[in-house]
Each structure stands twice: as C-alpha cells, then as structure tokens.
Chains A and B, each alone.
Chain A
Amino acid sequence: MVEIESLYKSYSNGLNVTEVLHDVSLGISAGEFVSIMGPSGSGKSTLMNIIGCLDRFDRGSYHLEGLDIAEASDNRLAEIRNMHVGFVFQSFNLLPQYNAVENVELPLLYADETPRAARQKAGELLEFLGLGHRLNHKPCQLSGGEKQRVAIARAVVNSPSLVLADEPTGSLDSKTGSEVLEMFRKLNEAGKTVILVTHSREIAEEAQRIVHIKDGVVSEASHAG
C-alpha cells in the first residue's frame, strides 16, 4: 500500500535549510493499522503529509498503491487525495459556514458526483455514524466528538483505501477520544488501511504496529499489543 524508500525532505526559510526527514524508508501493507509516533518536531506530521500526498519530498521514492507519487502532477495529487486518501485533523477543519451534511458531501462534489447523489450518500453515512439528527447543524452547533465524527465521515465518504489521522483525539476529552479511536478500529476492520499520527504512547498502542520517528529518522518499528 505505502512503499517509501530513502525519502528526504527539508524546508528552507530563506536562510537556513532544516532537514525534516532523513533517509526514511517505510512499508505499510493494505489493511494495516499503524501508528506513527514521535515527539513534536520529529517530522511525523511531515511524513503523514507526504503519505497523504499533501506535500512533496526532495529525494527518494514513494509509491502509493503502486502509483509513483514523485512523478504525479499537482492535478493528479489532488485526485489521489480525493479518491484514495481520507484526512482527519486534530482541529477537525470543518468549513464553518457549511452544515454537517454539506461538509461531508464536499469530497464527492470534487469527484464530480451529482449534487443529489452526493447529498444522499453524505446523509446516509452520517446517519450510519449516529449523526442523523445533526445533518443540518453547523460545526459551531456540534460537540467536539460530533465534529470529529463529521470529519471522519468526510474522510471516508469517497471510500478511500487509506485513512490518515493527525492527532485525531488531541482536541477531545478521553471518553469521546476513545469513541473516536473505536471508530478507526472499526474502519480498519472494514478493510481500510489506517495511519494514526500521535505523540502519545497510550493512543499509539491502539494500533497493530508503531513506527517511531525522531529527528526525521524512523528509528524503530515495533508491534504493539
């Protein structure tokens, strides 16, 4: 599913060049539930952004489902993000002026679905996730847990094979946090590859495998409980 070989990535602010990822190699098979764990500034978010095709890298190779990402155009990357990848963010990143169902249908609309079909599919998914009574609520009218469930619905509405979550429980209390983690586990059981980025060992251990990253180097890959 994810094959990364000798990947390098550095940022430049004009004066200094900071190397964020150094010779990262990583393989994730389809159907795996993997945590990427590391302290802040370790490069874990950058790695996730590259895996999610949001960011480009300097050197090395990355294949997602056999597609050579280094060679893909910006338009192609947008299509991959739309069809193959679902993002869940710590701060939800729902569009505030859109209600729940409108947020969820957006990826379908970008995939050129008809508005009617998109609305129906988004509504059904939200109902399945227990948010049927919240379809027309705007994000500001939803609780943190509800917001993250809407965000997860948006991430998976286009049936991506890969779901990426960056500190998905970071803004939630522990009870709703564990409910959200439970949803990722269910998604994984349903066959999706799930990659969870976190700095917390407790949350990382929810996954089948933990990838440790520190100072831009993948140091260890261990199997968790």
Chain B
Amino acid sequence: MRVSENFRSSFRALGHSKIRTFLTMLGVIIGVFSVIMLTSIGEGVKQRIASEVESLGANLLYVFPGRIQMPTMSQTESRLGARAGFGPLGTANGSLTYEDVLALKEHEDISAATGILSGADILDKLNLLVSTTGVDEDFFRIRALELRYGRYITLEERESKSRVAVIGSEANNEIFDGHDSTGKTFELNGVGYEVVGVLQYKKVESMGPGAEDLNVKIYVPVSEMLDRRDDWSVGQILVRAASPKAVDSAKRSIEGILRDRHGVVDFTVITQDDMLAAINRILSVLSAAMGGIAAISLVVGGIGIMNIMLVSVTERTREIGVRKAIGAKRRDILIQFLIEAVVISVFGGILGVLLGVGGSAALARIVPNIPTAISFTAVAVSLLFAFAVGCFFGVYPAAKAARLNPIEALRSE
C-alpha cells in the first residue's frame, strides 16, 4: 500500500475516536509545552543578562584585587583542576591602589579608568548608616549615567579631594524632597558635602549587573574617601578600552602595568566577554537541566501512546485480520499503526510548541520580571524528541499488530 494511503487510514482511525486521540496527545502536548516554556525562560534570562552587560558598554574591563580564576571548561570538567570560583567582587585586600588607577589612565589603549571604593557613612539628616561610593571623574562617562540636575564630579574636584557628591534620584527624594538640590549641602559623619549633580531616575533591573539600584547611590570623589582612611587601596578598577578592538591589548597592557608596579600578579583583569561567557556557561547548564526534567514528562506521554496503541490493536484485531485476508502484508499493518503513533506524537509536539511559544510570550507579558525567549534549537529538539518518542513507543504495538495470525485475528471478537 502506498504510504499516502497509510496516512489517510491512520488519520481516519484517529479521527474515529477523537477524545481518546486528544487525551493521548495531551501527554505529548504537556511534555513539549513544558520543555519549550522552561528553556524559553532560561534563554530569556541569558539574553537579558547579555543585553544588560552589553548596555554597560562593550569595551569594559574590570580589575579586581587578588587572583580570581574564571572557571574554564577544562577546570569545571576535570577533577584535577584547582577548585577555584568566581570570587566575591570588590573584596579589597589592598592590592589595588589609587596610584595604580592613575598609572592606568596614562596608557594609550585605555580611554578611561576609575577606582571604585565602597564605603559606609552616617547620613546625619536621617541618622542612618548609608553606603557611599568613591569614584573618579571617569566613572560617570564609563557607566554613561544620565544627569537630571547639575554636573558630574570633575578632575579638579578629585585631585583636590573636594567634599562634593553626585546623588541618585531616590537619595535626592529622601534628603531634599526631590527638588533640584545642586549647590545644597548635606552632612556625612558631621561634615558637609555639596551636591553637584543629581542622577536621572533609572529603572532597577531584576537581574544581571543592572540589578544594582543606582537611585540610592551617593557618589563622592574617591580621593576624598581615601583621604579619610589610612590606606590608599581601592576596591576595584573599572577601565574602558579605547575601542572594542583594543580590549585585548588593553587587558595585556593593564596586566603589564600592574605587574610592573606590584612585582607579582595579585590582581585579576576580566573583560566583558569573560564575564558573559562565565554567566552563559552557568545558565546553559541550568536551562539544559530544566529542559531535561521537562523531557521526562514527554517520555511519560510516550508511554501513554504505547498504552493506547496496545488497546487499539486489541480492539481492531478483527480489522487487522480482514486487512490481511484481502492482501495486507505485515509491513502494511506495521506502517499503519506506527503512523498512528507518530501522528499522535508529532501533532502533539506541534500543538505543544504552539502552546509553549504562546505561553512564554504570555508569561513575559504577565510577569515582566521573567524574561522569555524561544530558541530555535529548543523547538527543533523537542519536535524531534516527540517524533522519536512516537516511533519508539509505537513500534511495539505496531509490530504486535503486524505479527497477528490472520486466522486468529478473523476469529476474534
């Protein structure tokens, strides 16, 4: 029999018991739906983090004190590799100094560099311990922060260790009731600081580097903050390479300059790409694991197909006998029943993909904090998997039907 005829008779048999066909299909639909949903969340998180990291500027380099090893593939896979993690950011163990920052600013591959130092000071007005951040004039350019009022901290202010501050919009709301506060002063630890700029309100992202709430920041010149301490080390250095192409040579230059100055490698330079690669590696494993768990439900759906096909073969034993009596070969019967199983699984797969695509779009709309993105790979893999499940669980019932003895099949009922 022609395969097209086999398809026709399979569709008729499936259409004959619509509810049963649909319920059997439901197992596959739910399986594929969950695979698509879960992997789309994983993919969405990945893309959002990537876009947020990139929005910080493509040619950024981070210098951290101490030696941090980024886990590379060979290290995570080999048990021999030294156990090393992605160390805590900004732990100042004192290896990076203010002079290092000044030295880096001189290099031609580097267009901007800023030390970043986190501090905690008493905000006298509210009698509250607040976190303050010491930065260079370059910081605002590197991070491309937008101003609502006033200006950034200047080179002169940094060099003269002036008591000036650029504050976030939420900080401005709390200290100055949201009015233009440039020129006004507020007191930290009993000392007055003049506000020179107020930042534009910026929406806080749910994850990634953008999750930092810039609106509550109080930025002061890093030199002023260091002046109040007894050592001159900064928490981290943020560097912008002269161009995206110069990132690698900038990395080498930074490493060279700092090694010369320190005599040892007691720092780590991480590029934007290194960071993204590390994040992606973790997220890929997570999203594959989630997809794998969802795939288990697909296998359960396959068992449902096998179950219903076995029932169907038993019910239609007489039909199989008649078909054999009028000339159906084993192969004809095998293909007929196999097609039925595969049609259930593939149609279920297609419906599952459609539901999954719709569901993940709906999810992203209803819960904006959960980003979703459909990856073509996930769709293709889950459809192929559904097809494979149909074949695998359809073969046994179909072979059972094909093997039936025509005489016994005709006598049944």
Contact = CB atoms under 8 A, between A and B. Distances in A.
Interface of A: 49, 52, 54-55, 74-75, 78-79, 81-83, 87, 89, 93-95, 97-98, 106-107, 109-112, 114-115, 154, 158
B194 interface: no
Interface string B1-33: 110110010001100100000000000000000
Given A93-B325, A110-B1, A54 B406 contact: yes
A106 B326 contact: yes
B330 A75 contact: yes
Contact of B2 (A49, A54, A112): A112
A87 B328 contact: no
Interface class of chain B by DSSP: helix
B2 A115 contact: yes
Interface residues of B, number: 25
Interface string B337-376: 0000000000000000000000000000000000000000
B326 A82 contact: yes
28 contacts: A52-B325, A54-B406, A55-B406, A74-B330, A75-B329, A75-B330, A78-B324, A78-B327, A78-B328, A78-B330, A79-B329, A81-B325, A81-B326, A82-B326, A82-B327, A83-B327, A87-B325, A87-B326, A94-B322, A95-B323, A97-B13, A106-B323, A107-B326, A110-B323, A110-B329, A110-B332, A112-B1, A112-B2
B336 to A, nearest CB: 11
Contacts of B407: 49, 54-55
A89 B4 CA distance: 29
Contacts of B16: 97
Contacts, number: 68
B410 interface: yes
A81 B330 CA distance: 13
Contacts of B1: 109-110, 112
Nearest to A95: B319
Given A55-B406, A115-B2, A115-B5, 13 more contacts: A79-B327, A81-B327, A93-B318, A93-B321, A93-B325, A95-B323, A98-B12, A109-B1, A109-B5, A110-B1, A110-B323, A110-B332, A115-B8
A74 B1 CA distance: 16
A79 to B, nearest CB: 7
Contacts of A79: 327, 329
A74 B404 CA distance: 12
A95 B316 CA distance: 10
Contacts of A89: 410
A110 B12 contact: no
A206 B4 CA distance: 43
A202 B105 CA distance: 117
Nearest to B332: A110
B392 to A, nearest CB: 25
Contacts of A110: 1, 323, 326-329, 332
